[in-house]
Structure 1
Amino acid sequence: MEEIHIGMLLFLIIAGFTAAFIDSVVGGGGLISLPALLFTGLPPQIALGTNKLASTMGSLTSSISFIRHGKINKSLMVKLLPLSIIGSAIGVYVVQKIPSDKLKPLILVILIVVTIYTLTKKEWGLTSTFNGMTIKKAIFAVGIVTLIGFYDGFLGGGTGSFFLFAFLLMGFDFVESAGNAKILNFGSNITALVVFFYYDSVYYQYGIPMGIAMIAGALIGSKVAIKKGSSYVKILFVLVSVVLIGKNIYDHFFA
């Protein structure tokens, strides 16, 4: 690997901080951090593994922040976290057998539906209506968490946003949904990271400094989200969803 340049390192630190600030609230930080790593000239597989190292550091930080402020449902997360981990592990395994490009058109459709639904429900997610688990909610939670965990291991990109949307459907407000989503996103991230470690696909010289920047970004981002409340998170969620839609359209039709 080429000698590390200070300018490139500063670029990654800024990109990492920005990505983690956004990702700590609504997900989608990979739209910034992964292209930044690819810009350095790292091979795609190494860039993916390095991004997972940095983003795992960020997601752990934001998870701790949401936990400390009481913005997660601890008993529910204890039950759902293993499902996210299992789903991600299966996704990482399956992606070795099936090209992930097969899923991209479906993901685009889902993102559009999620964004339109959020925009048309004016008061949705501004206050929590969650009043405990029912059999129907439990079946939904088990299925959707495992599926999104699988998606993160198989394809990734917008995983945090999908987790957040799932918790909104269960009745949590935007801030609680963001907190719960980060816990499960951390689980799927750490699972994928273990696989990248196994295949020696992590470039620590970039991953660790970027990860430290992500810790700072995640800490500030989660605090801002908790302070400003659900209306702020909703706006950021819609903006990130629109960007994700744009990226998927570009990848599908023009790349």
Structure 2
Amino acid sequence: MPGPEVLLYGLPLAFLAGFIDAVAGGGGTITLPTLLLMGLNPAQVVATNKLLAIFGSGSATAQYWRKGHVEKALVLRLVPLALLGSALGAYLVHFVSPAAFQTLVGVVILGVGVLVLANKRFGLEDRYPGLTARTLALTLPGALIIGMYDGFLGPGTGTFLMFLFALAGFNLVRSSGNARTINFATNLGAFLFFLTSGQMVWWIGLPMGVANALGAMLGARMAMLRGSAFVKWMYGGIILLVAARLFFLR
């Protein structure tokens, strides 16, 4: 078991992860390797990461929610499907090779990045049409599938959710607010699942969770202040980070 000195680098990295995750998703690409570097075993890493993640995603959700950047009527319909998908993904991990799936997802997320950055107007304007049949046909199965990915593998879940909401017509600031809200729900569900596992390292997860929440608060405020153009380029950088995590960190 590591000593308290690991928090000297764990806290600033958790803060940075919270900031990045609140803007464009992908915070887990920082916190998961950090926890591994501390010497925790894989089960402790996954459980402790969910503990600190509920702080960050909860903090970001509160910021976006208060400022009206969450489409509540849509998101509340999607949360149950995301939770169901997450449970299914956790079940399927026993039957599918994570390594092969990881490579496939890495290719997909790079493709998403090219589409987002090549289309100069993508995500910069809010064109959400409301709860139309097209919106529900896109987002309902999308939330289920991304929820399955979150339960199965995880890195980049918030990034995929942002892309889903941008396809539905939201600008990237509102996409981020919607994505953070759903991600908070899936993190909370996973946290409750791991709560009795005995694998959470509380003395690491709690202080890192507070740092993560502070970073998320700053990140959400920065995203809302600077607008969708700022979020878009942060999003492009996070896609590269997530892809590197999927290709090179097994």
Report TM bin, short chain.
over 0.9
Whole-Å separation in 2 of the counterparts to 1:194 and 1:159: 19
| 1:53-132 equivalence runs, <5 A | 53-132=51-130
| 1:85-234 equivalence runs, <5 A | 85-234=83-232
Are 2:220 and 1:237 aligned? no
Are 2:15 and 1:17 aligned? yes
Q: 2:31 aligns with which of 14, 33, 37?
A: 33
Contact 1:112–1:245 (8 Å) recurs in 2 = yes
Contact 1:92–1:192 (8 Å) recurs in 2 = no
Structure 1 segments (4+ residues) deviating >3 Å: 96-99
Whole-Å separation in 2 of the counterparts to 1:92 and 1:198: 16
After TM superposition, the score normalised by the length of structure 2 is 0.96
Whole-Å separation in 2 of the counterparts to 1:107 and 1:250: 13
1:3-57 C-alpha deviation (Å, 9 max, x unpaired): x32x311211111000000001111111111111111111011011101110111
Contiguous gaps of at least 5 residues in structure 1: none
Contact 2:155–2:246 (8 Å) recurs in 1 = no
Query: Aligned-residue CA RMSD in angstroms?
Result: 1.3
Task: Specify whether residues 190 and 96 from structure 1 end up closer, same or farther in structure 2 by C-alpha distance, changes over 3 A only.
Answer: farther
Contact 1:58–1:215 (8 Å) recurs in 2 = yes
Structure 1 residue 65 displacement after superposition = 0.5
Contiguous gaps of at least 5 residues in structure 2: none
Structure 1 residue 93 displacement after superposition = 2.1
Structure 1 residue 242 displacement after superposition = 1.4
Whole-Å separation in 2 of the counterparts to 1:250 and 1:57: 28
Residue type at the aligned position of 2:39: G
Contact 2:17–2:27 (8 Å) recurs in 1 = yes
Residue type at the aligned position of 1:169: L
Residue type at the aligned position of 1:31: T
After TM superposition, the score normalised by the length of structure 1 is 0.94
- Higher mean alpha-carbon deviation, 92-101 vs 104-113, is at 92-101
Secondary structure of the corresponding residue to residue 176 of structure 1: helix
Contact 1:85–1:191 (8 Å) recurs in 2 = yes
Contact 2:54–2:188 (8 Å) recurs in 1 = yes
Secondary structure of the corresponding residue to residue 155 of structure 2: coil
Structure 1 residue 97 displacement after superposition = 4.1
Identity %: 36
- Higher mean alpha-carbon deviation, 135-144 vs 169-178, is at 135-144
1:196-247 C-alpha deviation (Å, 9 max, x unpaired): 2232221101000000101101111100100110000000000110122233
Contact 2:102–2:247 (8 Å) recurs in 1 = no
Structure 1 residue 115 displacement after superposition = 0.7
Aligned pair count reads 250
Secondary structure of the corresponding residue to residue 133 of structure 1: coil
Residue type at the aligned position of 1:157: P
